[in-house]
Chains A and B, each alone.
Chain A
Amino acid sequence: MGDVFKALADPTRRTVLDELQERDGQTLFELCARLASRHGLSSSRQAVSQHLDVLEDAGLVHRRREGRFTFLHLDTTPLRAIAERWPPTPPEGPP
């Protein structure tokens, strides 16, 4: 669980999750192009790969090998523990 918080603490890693949310199953190349062109993030491919390692350790990203390619997939399951520990306040009903 601590890993999830650490993974989410970094804004670049949150942007990675945003982009994978928009389209799941990206190559590292596509992700890097999105970060650079849409968010002005100039992280090197190696730096992005290291961010992905942190996200993968936290269970938020899975790397899937398909033939000669590797695709990145988002998994929001670990976030469920956050909502279970601090459930959203239910909307107030009519008095």
Chain B
Amino acid sequence: MTSIHVDDQDRALRFYTDVLGFVTKHDIPMGEHRWITVVSPEAPDGVELVLEPAGHPAVRPYTEALVADGIPFTAFAVDDVQAEYERLTAAGVAFTQPPVAMGPVTTAVLDDTCGNLIQLVAM
């Protein structure tokens, strides 16, 4: 299990499922917020990504400083970066970096619309 801070849980859940293609695993009310996790459809029992509310005052300066320099919060492994880039661009996703061969890996960086940059990476 790993987590990412999102500034709007509803928007994040829609983006991570409808656009990126994750599947909701848990969505449990927790007072003001919810405990939401999503998984890859290819690995429903694999790593769960927690969509964590970004309410703590330390979160925003941290994520904004990363975003300003284009630094991804985390990376998702995909089979084909170029294919995902084309699919997601057609779906309206903004990339700060199109696919570029970086030594042994190909990477691209997208805006997750809820406060983070995400790197796509293929070996």
Contacts and interface: CB of A to CB of B under 8 A. Distances in A.
Contacts, number: 47
Contacts of A34: 100, 102
A37 B107 CA distance: 11
Interface residues of B, number: 16
B70 A29 contact: yes
B50 interface: no
B71 interface: yes
A54 interface: no
Contacts of B68: 68-70
Contacts of B100: 23, 30, 33-34
B1 to A, nearest CB: 26
Interface in B77-116: 96-98, 100, 102-103, 105, 107, 109
A33 B107 contact: yes
B45 interface: no
A30 B103 contact: no
A70 B97 contact: no
Contacts of B107: 33
A71 B98 CA distance: 13
Interface of B: 64, 67-72, 96-98, 100, 102-103, 105, 107, 109
Interface of A: 23, 26-30, 33-34, 37-38, 45, 68-71
Question: Shortest 7 CB-CB distances between A and B: which pairs?
Answer: A27-B70, A29-B70, A37-B103, A37-B102, A28-B69, A30-B97, A29-B71
